[in-house]
């Protein structure tokens, strides 16, 4: 959905340039230059945009549910690790970029969903995603959110990133996380409590062309990802009036379970050992969260998370 909106915004900008409204395009480019740093400085959220009625229907389509397992004290800042990425990241968008799900369950906390910086270079589209509460996934941006002295800020980071979307097959429980420790370092530097989040059903929304590791398709996808910064999974789902083929996601329920916070003491210069120790604890808590809730959402007892 976001990709379609981005394409529309880019197309509209091209029309302005090629048409008789090129001066508007010039004015917007000037605005873009002056406003370039905003995605790294907390964005520009709009309660009006986050409360659009269309988001209610978006959440009900799957449907999307947010499950609270523990209180999050608004006097602290939090870094929520979201898993898995899936193809659409529908659970992250529906729960953290639209109101009222998060707002009702965690009053006093303001969620910021961090996404790839490349999206904020898209004309007009950047204005929309900032209004929804999305900000850059750069270190500068995460630091800005977690530096709030009064607490009450929650950074949401999709830990597996674009690489993990290539594993987004129905039934897949593989997470790209073993080498991803930057979020741990950020949590330590800012004393932000860590919260594991697992979104059951995220990988069930699309069917992806088989791309096992080592296959020619996977090799091409991984090379393109390194060049462009984002992955290109080949996926399909249902159409508007039929269920055999199309790009509309399947109607599969998504249950995004927010775990208990892991207290983190601020450490401006954490050692490698300290980062590894907290990372191991985070993996332990994430696995525990999954095991405690998997039976509620149709995951067979013999299946467990696979960390890569």
Tell me whether residue 22 is in a domain: no
Please state, in angstroms and rounded to a whole number, the distance separating the CA atoms of residues 7 and 12: 9
Residue 212: closest CA among 174, 177, 161, 160: 174
Is the pLDDT at 288 greater than 60? The verdict is yes
* Eight-class DSSP state of 151: -
Locate 236 and state its tokens: 């399909």
Residues 6+ apart with CB under 8 A from 96: 102, 111, 113, 133, 156
Q: Report the pLDDT value the prediction gives residue 9, as an integer from 0 to 100.
A: 61
Tell me whether residue 18 is in a domain: no
Grade residue 211 by pLDDT with cuts at 50, 70 and 90.
Answer: very high
Q: Report the pLDDT value the prediction gives residue 225, as an integer from 0 to 100.
A: 82
Q: Which long-range contacts (CB under 8 A, 24 or more apart) does 70-73 make?
A: 70/258, 70/259, 70/260, 70/261, 72/106, 72/109, 72/154, 72/193, 72/195, 72/258, 72/261, 73/151
Tell me whether residue 55 is in a domain: yes
Q: What is the CATH number of the domain that holds 171?
A: 3.40.1130
Is the pLDDT at 13 greater than 70? The verdict is no
Tell me whether residue 203 is in a domain: yes
Is the pLDDT at 247 greater than 90? The verdict is no
Please state, in angstroms and rounded to a whole number, the distance separating the CA atoms of residues 299 and 203: 12
Residue 235: closest CA among 206, 266, 213, 260: 206
Give the residue, 93 or 229, on which the prediction is more confident: 93
Residue 190: closest CA among 153, 159, 161: 153
- pLDDT over 90 percentage in the chain: 78
Quote the pTM value: 0.92
H runs (alpha helix) in 35-159:
47-50, 53-61, 90-96, 101-105, 125-131, 139-146
Grade residue 5 by pLDDT with cuts at 50, 70 and 90.
Answer: low
Is the pLDDT at 15 greater than 80? The verdict is no
Q: Which residue range is the domain that position 59 belongs to?
A: 40-307
Give me the number of domains the chain comprises: 1
145 φ, ψ (degrees, to nearest 5): -70, -45
């Amino acid at each position: 959905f976001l990709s379609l909106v981005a394409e529309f915004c880019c197309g509209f900008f091209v029309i302005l340039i090629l048409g008789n409204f090129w001066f508007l395009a010039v004015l917007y480019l000037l605005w873009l230059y002056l406003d370039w740093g905003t995605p790294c400085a907390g964005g520009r959220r709009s309660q009006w945009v986050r409360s659009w009625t269309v988001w209610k229907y978006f959440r009900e389509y799957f449907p999307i549910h947010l499950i609270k397992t523990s209180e999050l004290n608004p006097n602290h800042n939090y870094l929520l690790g979201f898993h898995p990425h899936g193809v659409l990241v529908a659970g992250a968008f529906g729960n953290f970029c639209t109101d009222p799900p998060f707002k009702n369950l965690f009053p006093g906390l303001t969620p910021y969903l961090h996404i790839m910086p490349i999206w904020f270079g898209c004309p007009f589209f950047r204005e929309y995603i900032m209004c929804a509460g999305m900000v850059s996934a750069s270190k500068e941006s995460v630091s800005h959110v977690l530096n709030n002295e009064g607490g009450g800020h929650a950074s949401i980071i999709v830990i597996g990133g674009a690489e993990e979307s290539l594993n987004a097959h129905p039934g897949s429980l593989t997470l790209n996380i073993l080498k991803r420790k930057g979020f741990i370092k950020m949590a330590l530097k800012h004393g932000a409590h860590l919260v594991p989040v697992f979104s059951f059903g995220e990988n069930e929304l699309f069917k992806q062309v088989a791309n096992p590791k080592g296959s020619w398709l996977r090799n091409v996808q991984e090379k393109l990802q390194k060049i462009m910064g984002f992955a290109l999974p080949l996926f399909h789902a249902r159409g508007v009036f039929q269920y055999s083929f199309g790009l509309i996601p399947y109607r599969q329920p998504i249950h995004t379970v927010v775990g208990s916070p892991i207290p983190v003491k601020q450490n401006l210069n954490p050692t490698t050992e300290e980062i590894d120790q907290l990372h191991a604890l985070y993996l332990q808590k994430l696995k525990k969260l999954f095991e405690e809730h998997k039976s509620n959402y149709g995951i067979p007892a013999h299946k467990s998370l696979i960390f890569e």
